[in-house]
Each structure stands twice: as structure tokens, then as C-alpha cells.
Amino acid sequence: MRLFSRILLAIVVALFGVALARSITTMGSLTRAVATDRASELERTYHVSVFLPEQETFFFEQVRQGVESVAERYDVAVSFHPIGPGAPEFRLARHSGIDGAIVYPYLPEPEMRRRIEELDRVGIPVVLVEQDVADDWPWTFVGTNNFEMGRQIGARLAERDDHDQIVIVYSEKSPAVEAERELVELGMTLSLRGRLARPITRRQTGLNPLDAEALTYQLLRSGEPITALVFTDVNDTLAALQAIINLNLVGQLQVVGFGVTDTIVDYLDRGVLDSSIAVNPQRIGIESVRVLSELMTTGNAPGYVDTGVEIIEGSR
């Protein structure tokens, strides 16, 4: 029995040691980021940590580029860190010596609020980007008004009177839109008003860039009277359009895509894609640095910055 107790104690001590070492390593990486950025960027006045999900998507890359493009203008050294259930960096940010944080809320809401309040208590201002949170949260939000996005999608769809079934496809690759799907659909419904023959159908894809292609084949071969498809991610749009081309269904249903890449613009101009939702992730990055700079220098900033959304059409 004593031997078992000693073995159990040794295991507990070892696990504690591993957790402690990981925390120390994480803290070291955050601290080194501060030192490295300040040394390489001529000792800028402020250091800001940006916490984004570990997803290699067009949206997050554009946010990052926006942040980097104005860092020098606002005298800010920037370091980027992952956020999510398996990433400890944000949980330890209050100990890192940073002057401010730009955060994409990618943790369960109760924990997210608790961690931001910890930053508040040590005087680190926070700006939240793109994924909105509860209305009673006091922190500044920079991003897209998803109700307005839905309203504009609905207005575009309402230009046709022949819609039977409209399918909107959300994606784990665009979590900010997925998180506010009720707002998106409310905006769509208000714009469409009496033109909806049935409620909007909701589907979802995962992180696999080919999920949308398989889903599109499934939907369009199902026999359902689908007259419009709406996508909320760039990669899903491109994958779905390839399926529509392969099925020889171009022009037979209205497709609203997402993003304004060169390929999407080409599809718009050729009439393969009816229209596309254009948000501005680079502007989200730029505005988040501007607003955080105001918070760090004056203590004041607007509670909400709407970075805009519009529906883009082709040149045909």
C-alpha cells in the first residue's frame, strides 16, 4: 500500500512539474516576444499581443496584415499568439508585461470574460475583434455587423421572385459569422419578407477546405427545390463553385459567395457567381490597432467600430 501511495505521489509530482514547465515556457515565449519585438523595432513605446485562432485562413491572414501595416504609425511592437482551448498563451497574458491586447474571442464565453477581467485588473486594455459577445460586455468591439450582412444578402436574393428553397452554409473556417447565424438569418428574412416559400435552410462545413464541394454535390443531387446557395467562407465558395461547374448547373441557381479574391472576382465577371459578400478583415486589423492605441494613450475609445460589409457584383 505504501509503495502504491509513493508511486501515485511521484506521478502527481511529475504531472505538476510538466504543467509548471509548460507554463514557464509559455511565459518565456511571451516575454521573449516583447523583448525581441522591441529590439527589432527600435524600442517602440508600446507592446501589443494579438491573439488569433490557429487557422491558416484568408480572413485571419488579412487581419494580421492589417495589424502589421499600421504598427509603426502607432508606435507599437506586435507579437502574435494562438488562442483556443489548447493554447495557454492568452490565459497567462496578464503576467507577460504587454501594454495591450487585441483578441479574437475563441474560448467559451464564461472563461473568455474571466480572462479579460484578469487583464483589466492589471491595467491591460483589450480590444475584441470580429466575433461579437454579450451586449453587457464593456470592451470595445471592432468588426462586421452580421445583421447588416444578412440584410444585404437578403436584399440581393430578393431581386429574384422565384426562390423556393434558400440554403445558407456556415463554416468552422468563419467562426464569427457562424456564431451569429441567428442575426444573419434575421437580416435575410427581413429583407426577403414575403418572398420566402419556406424557412431558410442551414448547413455547416468543417475546417476541411473540400467539405463544401461534397456538401454541394449532396444538396444539388438531393432532389430538393434549391434555388439559392449562400456561402460564408472564401474556400467554401471556391469549392462549391467547382461542384456547380462539374454538374453543369451554372446559372440555374443563385449563388452568393464570400470574399473578394482574384478567383472570386473572375467567377463574378464570368457569371459563374451571382455576387459575393465583401467584409474587410484588413481594415479590422487596422482599426483594432487604432482603437487600442487610443485606449493605451487616453484611456478612452468607442465601444463599437463597424468595419462595413457590402455585396459585390461582377462586371457583366
pLDDT tens-digit profile, the chain (316 residues): 555 455 554 454 444 444 434 444 444 455 444 444 444 445 789 999 999 988 778 888 999 999 999 999 999 999 999 998 888 899 899 998 999 999 999 888 889 999 999 999 999 999 999 865 666 678 899 999 999 999 999 999 999 877 889 999 999 988 889 989 999 999 999 999 878 888 999 999 999 989 999 999 999 999 999 999 999 999 999 999 999 999 999 999 999 999 988 999 999 999 999 999 999 999 999 999 999 999 999 999 998 999 999 999 986 5
- Give the CA distances from residue 13 to residues 9, 86, 275, in Å, rounded to whole numbers and listed in that order: 6, 22, 59
Is the domain of 130 the same as that of 41? yes
Is the domain of 182 the same as that of 243? yes
Is the domain of 245 the same as that of 297? no
What CATH code is carried by the domain that includes residue 30?
3.40.50.2300
C-alpha cell of 186? 434575421
Is the domain of 207 the same as that of 303? no
Q: Which pTM value belongs to this model?
A: 0.79
Is the domain of 130 the same as that of 8? yes
Domain assignment present for 315:
no
Domain assignment present for 314:
no
Domain assignment present for 93:
yes
Domain assignment present for 316:
no
Nearest to 152 by CA among 89, 84, 230: 230
Bridge pairing between strands 309-313 and 275-279: antiparallel
Is the domain of 114 the same as that of 163? no
Helix (H) or strand (E) holding 311: strand 309-313
Helix (H) or strand (E) holding 255: strand 254-258
Would you say the C-alpha torsion 42, 48, 54, 58 has a positive or negative sign?
negative
Is the domain of 151 the same as that of 249? yes
Is the domain of 9 the same as that of 118? yes
- Mapped to the 3 state alphabet, what secondary structure does 74-92 carry? CCEEEEEEECECCECCHHH
Q: Which domain holds residue 167?
A: 146-279
Domain assignment present for 28:
yes
Would you put residue 63 in left (φ > 0), alpha (ψ -120 to 50) or beta?
alpha
Domain assignment present for 137:
yes
Domain assignment present for 230:
yes
d(CA 101, CA 94): 10
Domain assignment present for 313:
no
User: C-alpha angle with apex 225: 219 to 226, nearest 5 degrees?
Assistant: 55
d(CA 27, CA 45): 21
Is the domain of 67 the same as that of 198? no
Q: How many domains does the chain have?
A: 2
Residue 162 and residue 142 in contact, taking contact as beta carbons nearer than 8 Å: no
